Amino acid sequence: MRTLIVDDEPVARQILREELELLPKVEVAGEAENGRQALQKIAEIQPDLVFLDLQMPVMSGFEVIRNLPGPALPVVVIVTAFDEHAIQAFEAGAIDYLLKPVDGDRLQKAVERARRLRNRPDEIADNLARIVSSTAAPGATKSRKIPGRSGNDYYLLDPGEILAFCADRELVWIITARQKFLARQSLRTIQDLVDQRQFRRVHRNALVNVDHVRKMCRLRSQRWCITLSNATELIVSKRQAHSIRSILRW
């Protein structure tokens, strides 16, 4: 497993590196001393596993997770000296956490858990999305990340960049300005997860982000045609016409 160590304390990085080098089939591919550097390293080396300290200058561990670059999302193991931060991360969805000073046996168990999860990228994406959604700063508006798949890669998408969710039989597509991704949940489940004020049901097969509605045209039989910011056109069903008409009441 290609592994990245992220910690602002050189001694802590050295101790963790020495412990990891004793484990079979683990390659320490790099180190980072702050959150910003961590994001650069993750993009460069695309590690399978990241040991991430939470309390760091420039950017905290939670901020690193919120800004993880796609497409290859790593397994994240939280490393911290504070019990409350570890518990917060674990309850939020972290695959595992380690308390400093790191115990060798406990480290081996964390690596084994990460190894089992490595071939399940959908679960990795869900875990990271839950962490991001559950750790907004006090007083801040929580923004639930939406996992989307493109080929074999997973991306954590901000709701604001999503134009619509469109169902096609058993599949649900996440539409963004540049491409589309496969969703992991049903359209009904997604509707329960997103902000109801931001996303409106316009058809039994479509949810749209009202912030990306650029044009609305009235059709016959109480139907509407809406045009999104990427020029995609969707027909609004009679049943959902009241939902989309409310946009005009601003």
**pLDDT value, residue 142:** 46
Q: Which domain holds residue 128?
A: 2-134
Domain check: are 120 and 16 in the same one? Answer: yes
Residue 50 covered by a domain: yes
Q: What angle do helix axes 121-134 and 83-92 make, rounded to 10 degrees?
A: 120
Give pTM, 2 decimals: 0.60
**pLDDT value, residue 137:** 46
Residue 216 covered by a domain: yes
* 8 A C-beta contact, residue 157 and residue 148: yes
Domain check: are 177 and 96 in the same one? Answer: no
Domain check: are 122 and 161 in the same one? Answer: no
Residue at which a domain ends, from 83, 99, 134? 134
Domain check: are 128 and 9 in the same one? Answer: yes
Average pLDDT over residues 34-60: 90
Average pLDDT over residues 239-244: 73
pLDDT in tens, 184-203: 888 888 888 788 788 988 88
For residue 29, pLDDT beyond 60 = yes
Residue 171 covered by a domain: yes
Domains in the chain: how many in total?
A: 2
